[in-house]
Every structure is written in structure tokens, then in C-alpha cells.
Structure 1
Amino acid sequence: MDFDNKDFANNHCKHIRELDPLIRFVGIANGMGTLVGTSYREQLNPLMDDDETKLYAMQAVFRAEIREDFQKNLGALNYSVGKYDKLIRATIPLKSVSESKYYILISFDVEANSIFIIENKVLKYIKLLAQE
């Protein structure tokens, strides 16, 4: 998985977003929290502007990195989910070909069964992608 390639990252954001109609947004951020790819659902009215989305990506990656401090005792982070009044957010850590850290950031409509979508659609997609 070469997420350093922006076209590659954008393409896979789009594919992940299309896995379920309740997925609003998919972004891929590098280990510094910089978005390298994004995809929004068509005709979506985003709740945040571009600058707020960039800040969210940095904070999500920072939180995921902090969770890794407990990996020795708890095991590796598979994903984390937060439910808000207006949406659900998830962060999923990835490894790329270069062993660099990347994170998939997903926003769901609030009525989505995000755990089901992550475990039965998104993680399966990532596993297939890693086998290519």
C-alpha cells in the first residue's frame, strides 16, 4: 500500500467511501496527521470546512499515536470510534509498503452501525488491499 502516492490514496478513499451509503467522508492521513487523500459522499454538506478537517486529522492521528503507548499491555489498536450528536468518527491505523504509519479517518451518519461497517466492510477491504 503506497499511500505516499496521492492518486493511490484518493482512489482508495473513494473505494472505502463507496462500501456503504452511510459513510460521509474518508480520509487517509500520514503519521504527522497530514491528509494525503480524501473522498466525500456526493452532495454532502460537510459539517467542517477544509481547515477544520485538517485540524481534525492531526488531532485524530495524535490521539491514535498516544493510544500506542499502551500497546504493550493492551495489544495493537485495531480502530477507535467516537459518537457525536451529528456523526460518528472512526480512526483505523494502517501500515504502508514503506512501513510508514497511515490512518484511515472515516465519518458516518449518526444512524450508521459503524462497528458493523468497519469490521465487515472496511477491515475486509484493507485486508484485500494489503494482499495485492
Structure 2
Amino acid sequence: MDYDQICKKVLDIDPKVRFAGICDETGETKYGGMRDGKPSLLSPQESQKSNLQALGRWGLRKTLTSKTGRGIYAMTEYEKLKRITIPLDDDDHLLVVTTEVDADHGNIISKTLKLVSQE
């Protein structure tokens, strides 16, 4: 899976996608980044902390996988952005996508899942 290409393609889905990045188990963003011209709302340390929290929530979801099936994505809407997370590679990496609040997240999620499944 070419993580850099995935991130670039996710940013191309919609101009309201602010960020597309892939983090590892430490929460560090290893691939992708912010859309040019869009300021990050979080410092690098805050982004890593946020990613670690998302990874922790995915870990909790996995405890119910035998009953609910594997998680496909999660989306949270905040006052200033929406964040979509998608586990990759048997959960070794997490794709994190943030959008403007008024973005069509359903369309972005659908197209992102299609991209990920094709890689």
C-alpha cells in the first residue's frame, strides 16, 4: 500500500478535506499532512496525542469484534472540524482525515474507503 499516494488522493477527493495522514502505533504521523494553505489547529505534540487517543478507541472497539464485526471507520464532529479514522493493515496504521465542518463527510468517507480498498 502506497501511503503517500493514498493521502494525496484523499486530499483530492474534496477541497474541504483539511488533512490526510497516516500514523503508526506511536501516534506519529508518518505520511501525508495538511492541505497547502490550511493551518493546523493542533501543534505536532497535540496531533500525536489526538492520534494516540484515536488508536486507543480503536483498541477498545476491537474487544467487541467477535460480536459486532471489524470496525470500518469512525467519524467525530467537533465545533471546528470533523475527524474520520480508518484502520489500515490489520490495524498497524491509522488513516486520519480531517475536514471542514460543512464538508459532505458521507461522500468523503465513501470515496476514501474505495481508495483504501483499491490499494
TM-score when normalising by structure 2: 0.90
Q: What residue identity is the alignment partner of 1:122?
A: T
Are 1:123 and 2:117 counterparts? Answer: no
What is the alpha-carbon distance in structure 1 between the residues aligned to residue 32 and residue 52 of structure 2? 14
Q: What residue ranges of structure 1 are gaps of 5+ in the alignment? A: 2-7
Instruction: Tell me, yes or no, if structure 1 residue 86 matches structure 2 residue 80.
Output: yes
Report the RMSD for the aligned CA atoms in angstroms: 1.5
Query: Does the 8 Å CA contact 1:93/1:102 hold for their aligned counterparts?
Result: yes
After superposition, the C-alpha distances for 1:65-113 in whole angstroms (9 at most, x for unaligned) are 1111111111110000000000000110111xxx562110010100012
One-letter amino acid of the counterpart of residue 75, structure 1: G
Map 1:1-132; keep pairs closer than 5 Å.
1=1, 8-95=2-89, 101-119=92-110, 121-129=111-119
Please list every run of at least 4 consecutive aligned residues from structure 1 whose deviation after the TM superposition is greater than 4 angstroms.
none
TM superposition shift of 1:31 = 3.1
The amino acid that maps onto 1:62 is: G
**Aligned residues, how many?**
119
Identity %: 29
TM-score scaled by structure 1? 0.82
Q: Which runs of 5+ in 2 are unaligned?
A: none
More displaced stretch, 67-76 vs 23-32: 23-32
- Out of 76-85 and 22-31, give the one that drifted further: 22-31
For 1:127 and 1:78, how far apart are their aligned partners in 2?
11
CA contact (8 A) 2:6 2:116 kept: no
What amino acid does structure 2 have at the position aligned with 1:28? I
